[in-house]
Each structure stands twice: as structure tokens, then as C-alpha cells.
Amino acid sequence: MEQKTNQRIAKISGHLYPSNSQIMEDSSEVMMRANCRAKGGAPGFKVAILGAAGGIGQPLAMLMKMNPLVSVLHLYDVVNSPGVTADISHMDTGAVVRGFLGQPQLESALTGMDLVIIPAGVPRKPGMTRDDLFKINAGIVKTLCEGIAKSCPRAIVNLISNPVNSTVPIAAEVFKKAGIYDPKRLLGVTMLDVVRANTFVAEVLGLDPREVDVPVVGGHAGVTILPLLSQVKPPSSFTQQEIEYLTDRIQNGGTEVVEAKAGTGSATLSMAYAAVKFADACLRGLRGDANVVECSFVSSQVTELPFFATKVRLGRSGAEEVFQLGPLNEYERIGLEKAKKELAESIQKGVSFIKK
Ligand SMILES: NC(=O)c1ccc[n+]([C@@H]2O[C@H](COP(=O)([O-])OP(=O)(O)OC[C@H]3O[C@@H](n4cnc5c(N)ncnc54)[C@H](O)[C@@H]3O)[C@@H](O)[C@H]2O)c1
Ligand SMILES: O=C(O)C[C@H](O)C(=O)O
């Protein structure tokens, strides 16, 4: 009896004061029990975050640990994931957290996942465009998507790494090459544009942002970010000056943060919030909830382009329905033409990166 109690204390203290190797992927009994608890406990989804130790990754990991739909949370990065995992794992919420460090552990990080969220990659500094990140981030996204194709080919993928207008086509080509591409399961995250649009429009209208719904279509960079102010809910009218101010602020919201952060990075906290809002919608879709609708940059036939952001209905297999644009006014029609021109080039750049 006493021996058993001592064993239990030993196990518990191992759990309370873990070394990195204990917290990281291992086969210790404590971790085995944690996994059993996850399997046998409250139903939930298995979610991996790739780039979990970064500016977005850390608050995103914290918020996903608080999400009751998550039963297992895998935190993968090429640096610092042991510390982030130890920290997050002390939160007394339901999800079991496990950390994975470096390429050799990518496969374990991904095996069995229902949803993979990717905020891995370098962020902008003042004066840079998102496209300036292509050189570094294209290769990172390619490697991570090859891992997904191998270890969890049926997972829903939420791609945050910039330039989203190119990284989503890169991911699609990697999945096609591996023979596992399901367009419904690959979603570029443009939720931050919607979050910003709701906030800025609410400010102008004098409303609570939670009451406002602004569709933002196109893509996720400059003029490709196209807020449809004619379709705002609740139905609202704007002066031409308000339309121009709002469109410009929404299209340049990312740059506003990059400049304010003065060389230390881009949006991380609002992005983590937006990423969780979107991931939660994906998980509710996976659970079978009806009428889960959000904007996302997906494979699309709404325009002549192969990818485009519009509202999509999220279901058990991802973006099950891609909605049309709806009626546009003249200002939005002009914006759409500009958006499509830039988008076409960014998409082609991503496709060529894999096909070259
Ligand atoms: N879609 C959007 O709306 C949106 C919004 C904000 C930022 N972003 C983009 O998200 C990305 C991350 O931004 P951040 O501020 O978190 O950057 P960050 O530099 O703070 O964090 C990035 C993390 O990725 C990790 N990483 C690098 N290579 C990796 C690899 N091969 N595998 C796994 N992890 C790897 C780094 O170690 C780091 O921890 C950037 O590309 C940024 O432009 C997108
Ligand atoms: O602006 C950036 O570079 C990051 C992100 O795409 C954003 O919109 O905040």
C-alpha cells in the first residue's frame, strides 16, 4: 500500500516538476496515462499547432488549451516548444498538451490529428510586403505540408503563414503531389481581416463589434483584402468618405500593426484571437453543427481564379459549401478587379514554387 502511494507521488511529482524530456514526447507512464485520459475522457478533437513557440503560436496555444472542443493539443516548433508546453500544460483545462521539438518529431506531432493550425514562419518588418516573406516561408510551409500528407492526410488544415495568397496554393500542390488533396480540407485563415473589419465598422457605426458582421473576400494582402461594406449586417449605409476610410484601414490593418511594433513583428495577439475563432468554427463544423459560416481563402469557383476568399460553410469534411459573392456595388466591382489581378500572380507564384 505504502509502496503504491510512493509510486503515485513519484509519478505526480514527475508531472509537477517535469524535465524537458518528460514534458516532450516520451513513453513515460505519466504521459501514457495522460493520453489514455484524453482518449477515454470527454469527447474532443486532436489539434496540432505548428510554430507553437512563436508570437502567434504561444497565445494561440493558450487559447486552444481553453477550448472545450479540444481533447489533445500538440505543440510543435523548431525551437522553445519544451518551455511553452511545460507552461501551457499547467492550465487546469481539459485538453492534454504534448510538446514536439524539431523535424525528427514532426511525424509524432501530426499523427492522428483532426485539425492542424500553421502559424510557422517569419513575420514582416516595417517596409516589407507579405510577399517579401515568400522566400523563407514557402519552404517552411512545403516541409510542414509534406509532414501532414504523410502523417494526418485527412486533417483539416488552417494555414496562417504569410503570404497566405501563395502559401495556400503551395500546400495544395504538395497535397496533390502526395495524392491526398481534398480542397475542402485546406483553409487559408483570413479571419483577422474580418475581425478588423467588424471592429473598424462598429467604431464608425457606434455599435458593439459583436453585433457587426462584415464579409471580407478576395485574399489576405493589401488590395486583395476586399471588405464588402454593401453587405454589412446589420444593414448600414456609409458615406463615400467612410467607405474609403474603412476600406483603406481594413486593407492596411496588418501594416498598421507592423509599423506600431517598429521591427519587433506583426499582429500576434489579435491573430491568435482570430485563429481560435476560426479553428473553433472548424471544430464545430467537424462536430456536425449546422450553419457554421466564416470567411476563408479556399479552392473556389466563385471567380475564374483557383483560390478565393469568400464565406464558406464549415462541416464534417471542412469547407463543404463555398458561397457566391452576392451583389456588389460599383466601388466593390472595381476593387474586385484589382484584387483578382494581384491574386492571380500570387497564386501562380505558389503553384510554380512546387511545380518548378
Ligand atoms: N494569416 C494572417 O492573418 C496572419 C496574421 C498575422 C501573422 N501572420 C503570419 O504568421 C506567421 C508567424 O507570425 P509570428 O508573429 O508568430 O512569427 P514568429 O517569428 O513570432 O513565430 C514563428 C514561429 O515559427 C517557428 N518556425 C520557423 N520555422 C519553422 C518550421 N520549419 N517548423 C515549425 N515552426 C517553425 C519559429 O521557430 C517561431 O517560433 C508569419 O508568416 C506572419 O506573417 C499571418
Ligand atoms: O501584416 C502582416 O504581415 C501580418 C498579417 O498578415 C496581418 O494581417 O496582420
User: Per-residue pLDDT for 171 more than 90?
Assistant: yes
pLDDT of residue 3: 53
Q: Is 102 annotated as a binding residue?
A: no
Output the ligand 1 site: residues, CB below 6 A: 50-51, 53-57, 77-79, 119-124, 133, 137, 140, 143-144, 160-162, 164, 189, 192, 220, 265-268, 271
Higher pLDDT, 36 or 57: 57
pLDDT at 152: 98
Q: Which residue has the cell 464588402?
A: 228
pLDDT tens figures, 317-338: 999 999 999 999 999 999 999 9
pLDDT at 26 over 50: no
β-partners of residue 75 are 49, 99
Does residue 350 carry a pLDDT above 80?
yes
- pLDDT above 70 covers what percent of the chain? 88
Confidence check: pLDDT of 20 > 50: no
Q: Which amino acid is at 264?
A: T
pLDDT band at residue 17, thresholds of 50, 70 and 90? very low
CB-CB contact of 161 with 118 (8 Å): yes
Closest atom of ligand 1 relative to the 274 alpha carbon: 3
H helices within 41-163, ranges in order? 57-65, 81-89, 106-110, 134-151
Ligand nearest to the CA of 252: 2
Percent residues over pLDDT 90 in the chain: 88
Name the grid cell of 149.
Answer: 500528407
The whole-number pLDDT of residue 356 equals 80
Per the annotation, the verdict on 220 as an active-site residue is yes
Confidence band of 167 (pLDDT split at 50, 70, 90): very high
Each residue of 130-149: pLDDT tens digit? Answer: 999 999 999 999 999 999 99
The pLDDT score that the predictor gives to residue 14 is 30
Domains delineated in the chain: 42-189 (3.40.50.720), 190-355 (3.90.110.10)
Taking only the tens place, the pLDDT of each residue in 180-227 is: 999 999 999 999 999 999 999 999 999 999 999 999 999 999 999 999
Report CA-CA distances (Å) from 137 to 51, 79, 189, 330. 12, 16, 15, 36
Beta strand pairing call for 186-188 and 156-159: parallel
SS3 237: coil
pTM for this predicted structure: 0.92
Contact indicator for 243, 229 with CB cutoff of 8 Å: yes
| ipTM, two decimals | 0.99
What proportions of the chain, in percent to the nearest 5, are helix, strand and coil?
Answer: 55, 15, 30
Residue scoring higher pLDDT (275 or 15): 275
288 marked as binding residue:
no
State the cell numbers at 261. Answer: 511594433
Residue-averaged pLDDT of the chain: 91
pLDDT band at 158 (very low <50, low <70, confident <90, very high): very high
Confidence (pLDDT) at 311? 98
315 is in an annotated binding site: no
Say how many Å lie between the CA of residue 227 and the centre of ligand 2: 16
For residue 12, what pLDDT is reported?
A: 35
